[in-house]
Chains A and B, each alone.
Chain A
Amino acid sequence: MNSYKIMNKNSFIKTILVLLGVSLSLHALAHHVLGRPSYSLGEDSNTPPSMQVETQIGDYYVTYMAFPAFPKANEPGRVNLYASRIDNGQSFTGKVTFSVMDDSWFSSKIETIGSQMSDDSVFRQGFIISEDGNYIIRAEFESGGEPYIIDFPLRIGEPLPIGPLGVSVAIIFLILISVNVIQRRRLQRMKTGRHHAETE
């Protein structure tokens, strides 16, 4: 596994160097290659490890990237948003407002973290979140008189692996499986007997 990873990483660095060389000799029209995030030294770089989500809403394809891929509490991170029209591929150039909320049951608090204008078709929003947990980053914009509201997941640090609802689901599933496996022969007889009793 390790040798494979090292080889993979080396070949990747070579690829980056080749691409850099090629890009220096050409007029670059775009900074980003979607879906191919990579390593870098700082979170301000265009290409640190990222977590990417793609979705379609209304007239737009929307791509959301969270940097770094696994952000931690009290460490700066950033989300990038790209929105392009489905019909002609034209990028959205208006204003996008980003807000954050706790992805929990009883939390209704939404905090706006900023409004961003397009920078080379990219909307970049930095954030620092002080507590581990599951959050929702909400991106809002307006186009053609229609409001667009998109919620994206953002995990900070290592939240609890399983919550009370998860425990409940696990218990219910365990009971269902146990009863059905242990009582499977008796259940058939019970059903038939009960049916006969009800119809007589």
Chain B
Amino acid sequence: MNWQVHLNKLRWLVLSLVMLMLVLIPFLHLYQSYEAAHAYDLLKPGERLIYDSMEFISGPFISDPENDLDGLKGTTWSGTLFGLALSDPLALLGQISASLSLHWSFLLTALIPILLTLLAGRFFCGWICPATFIYELNDNLGTWLRRAGLPISRRKLDRRIKYVVLLMGVLIGMFTGAVMFAAIYPPAILGREIYYAIAVGGFGSGMVFFILTLLFDLLVARRGFCRSICPGGALYSLLGRFRLLRIQRKVETCNDCTKCNAVCQFDLDPWHDDFGQECNNCSACIAVCPTDALVFEMKYKDQPFQGAGHLGQDYKKQQGDIKPASGED
């Protein structure tokens, strides 16, 4: 059994942890604020519950919540993870275009994500993005609704639209001085909205936009926002075009079942060795493959179409292993 088939479970665990962190961080920040204000005696019962539970959770790891919790802040857009400042490369691009200047310290915070993208391509979209967690659940809901007879559209939009969105975002940033990406980039929106909902109280217009993207995916195009509109997806696709780590098909063990194509939410064609720069290395195709014909390999470009899988009927027919049934030409 190929160990890589378990990567998809690991991915779901990572996605769940990222989502959990996005929910936990604002609660920890509230706890930190209460602690800094020495306000325990002033808190309402619900707030005391937050204080006590966060004290219980963080207690084993920190001794001075007022200062130590500074090491865990922000969202996937830009934040501090256990003292390490990290930023989304799109946030860096937005800042550069809006200010027409480069802050080296900000660049350093985006360096690790950029290097990882050069290595593993659009992995952020598949493994980290909190919106992916919701979008994939939403895609499964779409499958279920379609089965139930609801008219779910499977329109295929041009993937290149997102590069236009990326370019427009840069240009608008240059002319307005505002980081426009933050307004339409689902992980930034989700992180911000969850934070506001918990720490400040209530969702904002960003959440309405996010719900509209869910409806768009459900009613217009399957995973259409990530595939065709998301500016972050465009940037990661460009950065990951020559990624070193990519999923490849082993034609010797492929049986042409096409389950890989069926589960690929980005509508790629692993069966025909067509992964391209859009693949987010989510490993769902590896997990579903019954013959372990899909594996991660170190290569800087995809191999060309290798032909029918050697365990499939077509290949066996070509090789003369299977004789046509009587009556067939």
Chain A: residues with CB nearer than 8 A to chain B?
1, 5, 8-9, 12, 35-39, 49-52, 69-70, 103, 105, 134, 153, 155, 158-159, 161, 163, 165-166, 168-169, 172-173, 175-177, 179-180, 183-184, 187-188, 190-192, 194-196, 198-199
Contacts and interface: CB of A to CB of B under 8 A. Distances in A.
B38 A8 contact: yes
B191 to A, nearest CB: 14
B258 A52 contact: no
B143 A191 contact: yes
A196 B38 contact: no
B261 interface: yes
Given A1-B52, A8-B38, A177 B262 contact: no
A159 B201 contact: yes
B143 A190 contact: yes
B173 to A, nearest CB: 15
B214 A172 contact: yes
B259 interface: yes
B39 A49 contact: yes
Given A159-B201, A166-B197, A199-B258, A177 B38 contact: no
A184 to B, nearest CB: 8
B134 interface: yes
A166 B202 contact: yes
Contact of B261 (A165, A168, A173, A195): A195
A133 to B, nearest CB: 10
Contact of A180 (B33, B140, B202, B203): B140
Nearest to B40: A5
Contact of A168 (B33, B37, B137, B211): B211
Contacts of B197: 166, 169
Interface residues of B, number: 37
A192 B259 contact: yes
B141 A165 contact: no
B160 interface: no
5 contacts: A12-B38, A70-B42, A168-B211, A179-B140, A192-B262
B323 interface: no
Given A155-B201, A169-B211, A179-B144, A49 B38 contact: yes
A199 B52 CA distance: 56
Nearest to B41: A5
A166 B194 CA distance: 10
B39 A165 contact: no
Contacts of B207: 165, 169
A188 B290 CA distance: 13
B116 to A, nearest CB: 27
B200 interface: yes
A45 B38 CA distance: 16
A166 B203 contact: yes
Interface string B195-209: 001001111010110
B146 interface: yes
B37 A176 contact: no
Contacts of A153: 200
Indicate the member of A1, A105, A165 with the most B CB atoms within 10 Å.
A165
B138 interface: yes
B262 A195 contact: yes
B323 to A, nearest CB: 24
A169 B262 contact: no
Contacts of A177: 137
Given A153-B200, A159-B201, A199-B258, A180 B40 contact: no
A187 B262 CA distance: 11
A196 B259 CA distance: 9
Given A165-B202, A165-B207, A52 B39 contact: no
